[in-house]
Structure formats: C-alpha cells, structure tokens
Structure 1
C-alpha cells in the first residue's frame, strides 16, 4: 500500500518520471481489489489529470475479478471517472411503459432491442426528474456502454415522489407520481404521435390496472366527443358569420350600383356645380 502511494506521489511531484502503463494498471487493480480507497482515489485522480482513459481497466476488473470485487466499493470509485470516453458506446436503452390514474411505470432494459440480451449489471445509475422531463443514465463496464434516455413527458411529474428498484437481468423498474393526479396520459411523450422503436407497452402492468384505464378511456371518449361537438358548432358559426359578411358585402355593392344608376350618369366623382351630371 505504501509502495502504491509513493509511486503515484512521485508521479504527481515528478511528472517526467516514466513508469510502464502495465505496472500502473496492476497497482490500481491491486488497490481496488484490496479496497484501498485512498490509494485508489489518488490513482484515478492522477489518471484523470493525465487524461488517461481508465474505462478499459475497469472493464478488465469487472470481467476478470468479479468474484473478488466489492461491488459497492467499485461503484463508488466508478463515479470518479469522467462521463465521456472514446471507448464508450452511447446508446438509448429500450423501455416498457404503463400507467394508472396516479402513477407512471417504466421498466428499463439496458439494450437497444427488447428481444436481445442486455447488460447484466450497470453502474452509476442516475435518474433526474424535472416537472416536464425525465433523464436516465447508466454505465456498463462489461460492455463499455453508456446508456442515456431523455423523455419530454406528456404532463408534469412529481420530482420528489418516485422510487426505482433493480430486478432480474439488470433491469430497473421506476414508479413516478403524476402531477396533476389523477390524470390519464395519451402517451409518455409530449408528442402523442411519437412512438420510437425502443418504446413498448408494458402489457402486464396495463392489465393490472385495466379497470381504472377503461373508466379513463370512457371519460376521455366523452370529453373528446364534447370537444368535437363544440368545434363543429364553432365552425358552423364561423361559416354562418362569413356567409353573412359576404351577403352584406354583396348587398352593399348592389345598393351602391343602384345609387349610381338612379342619381348619377358617371361613375367618376361628381362636380356639384355641373348640374348636367344630375338627373332631375
């Protein structure tokens, strides 16, 4: 341990000292496996300062030393890594969604398609909820993937009342309180016609709350029918108003023409002194 610290301190204060990369990587792996938190942090900070990418090293640790690895300690150290790396593939995970009248349910699978295997474990899972949007991020050191999901939601959500739980095969279930609530969402996205290829209906959860949703469908249908009827009435009134304006304009034009025919020989402006222009 002291050898490890002295090695990296010498690199810190003597940056021109040359050590083989393989030797430094072995020292870092040893520190992580032995849970030497101070040594590991010194090493990671040094690598970050030198802009040396540690993602392949963490992948090596995850794949080859998983049985000896303290996952909580590994998770803590992985948060010190920079968020971007040329080794990382940035992907959008697939997800299933469902709802009842008060909550939104999401099941995230860390793969690009629902029918292919995804990452078994993920690290640095983050979820950020603002009232009109949802942001999810996670890393897979086994596959060197960074998963990012951004959704501009149909309505607002409560950023305080939510929780998530990891389940089998590295999937995560998220439950979020709607705001306002109760309320029926036509889509999880603000654009009700948007249906990306990585989005699926969570049918099991849908059938669990089918009774609530059928009532919501009925209320929604009644509301839509009333809205359509109001729009038809408004359109009919607008058409009548336009027709009335056209008729009024036509009557006015006819009256002006009749006036010219009865009282004036010419269509040009009249000179009042020319009595010959008037018909007596």
Structure 2
C-alpha cells in the first residue's frame, strides 16, 4: 500500500493542454473551431543520412513550422514544413542522385518540403471509449534534388488515430499507410506502413512529460527507407506560450543517431470566422 499515494497522483484527472509539439504521433482530438495553433522550432540532428544523394552529416532544421486551424467542430486543417535545412557534410558516396548534385563545399542547404493535411475527429472520448479520428494528406516536393536534401517526389498518406486518457496519463496511437514516390524508378512508388505510439504524463497544469515512438516499415528502397525513431521530451506552459524540448534517438542506420528539438507554440482565436 506504500505505492498508493503515487498511483493516485499519476492517475488523478488533469486537463492536458492541446499542444502537438514535440510529438510526431498525432492526437485524435482536433484544434477547437476558429482556433489557430501556430508553432515554430529548430532541430539539430546528428548523423543524418540522405541515401538517394549519397550524403551524410549533421542536419540543422531552422523554422520547423506548423499551422493548425480548427475549420469545424471536428475538422482540423494543417500546413507543416521547414523553412530551411542545412546539412554539414561528413561523408559522401556515389548514389543515384549524385550526378544531379549542384553545390560545392562541405555543406548544402535548401527549403524544406511542406505537408498539407486534414484531420477529422470521428468520435469523442467518453463512456470508456477512446477518441477516434483519421488524418490524410500529401507532402509536396518543394526542395530541389540538386541540393541533395530531397527526393523531389510527391508523397501521400492516411492514418487512423486513437486517443485515451487515464487520469494524468494520455495515450496516442497512429496507424496508417504512406505512398512514397520512388526517386530511383520514375513512375514507381513504395508503400510503407506507418506507426506511432505516444504517452503524455501531466505533472501539473504547466508541465507535461512526453515520449513518442514512431516510424515506418515495409519494402522501401533508396530514399524511402524504413524508420524507427524515439522522442523524449517535455511541454511547458508559460507566459501565454507552449514551450517544448525533446531528445531524438534513431535506431536504423539511415536514421539520425541523435538530436535535440526545441520549439514554441501559440494558440490564437480568430473572431472574424463565423460560428
């Protein structure tokens, strides 16, 4: 019985704020109607691999932005992307995209690819049932393969979302499919299964601890490899903003070995939209 106070503290009901960063696994709940959630951050990733271009090094992602708008009571519109990617090159090797590379020196940079998505809450959590939702969208080839940081392909994805709260603990699950354009074989595609399992623990009304395991598995190829990654971090509500910091660990040879992620989010009420 000596652990009873600890269990009561962990499972005590708490209001968890709806910040998405630094999680990759999406929650089933959507941003409230007429609310715009804007976030921006930076990522410092060690030993990033761009197999299609034959580049390896340390990747800095500046301006990792997200815009999430509550278009209806159960519909969220998302625009996600990176303003600038900078790779400090440690190693180069021959790869399918090597003849197309057009830069000099030991670094390369480019605009990041942007994603447009829609999330729909199908069922709210209640009566012992979890919240259920779906998410679908596409990633645009905004970056050029001449800089080596993009496959220059359009990718499509869809996923099923599940969310359940147990007092101060909240669980998120995302299972889906991504259709990746094969950069090596024109007109071909690689279909991979995507997954994400996240846990959030609310210490109090200002601080959450988060862990997120996510990736993709399947018959990928060069530039569309499998991924297995883990994020460990915290969310902090202070000064009217939502701050986040997380560590990243990669478990496959084409994943970054480690990384640091920082960011901030702000929710805005948009009064000029109708009720």
Normalising by the smaller structure, the TM-score range is: under 0.3
Larger radius of gyration between Structure 1 and Structure 2: 1
Of Structure 1 and Structure 2, the greater strand share is in 2
Normalised to the residue count of structure 2, the TM-score between the two structures is: 0.21
TM-score by length of 1: 0.21
More helix by share: 1
